[in-house]
Structures are given as structure tokens and as C-alpha cells.
Amino acid sequence: MESQDKVIESLTKTIEIMTNELTLLREQVAYLTQKLYGKSSEKVAYQPGQLSLFEEESLPEEDADLPR
């Protein structure tokens, strides 16, 4: 009987550990899925002197370089 109790206790601990690990992995999958497919704000860093491929408003530093 004692050996069965030890086996049951060992298996119970193993189940708890695996349940905690499964919960952590599910949280990681949800986080990474959100990062990959969720909303994101794309910010463009303009380099001085670099031409734009799109018709956008001119940047203030570009206006200062124009002759008047």
C-alpha cells in the first residue's frame, strides 16, 4: 500500500508541474500570436536627404533647406 501511495503522490506532483508548464506555454503562445498578428504601429524614421517613395507632407527640416 505504501508504494502505491508514493506512486500516486509522485504522479500528482508530476501532473501539477506539467499543468503549470502547459499554462505558461499557452500564455507564451497567446503573447507571441498577439505580437505577430496583432495591431502594431509602424513608425517611419526619416533619414536626412533620403527621398520618399510616397507622396507625403514634407518634413520641417526639409523646408528649412529650401532657398527662398
What residue numbers bound the domain in which 59 lies? Answer: 2-65
Residue bearing cell 507571441: 32
Q: Span 15-22, mean pLDDT?
A: 98
Question: What number of residues does the chain have?
Answer: 68
Sign of CA dihedral 52, 57, 61, 62: positive
pLDDT of 64 reads 58
Average pLDDT value for the chain? 83
pLDDT at 58 over 90: no
Q: Find the angle CA(30)-CA(33)-CA(36) to the nearest 5 degrees.
A: 150
Q: Span 46-54, mean pLDDT?
A: 75
The structure's pTM equals: 0.53
Number of folded domains that form the chain? 1
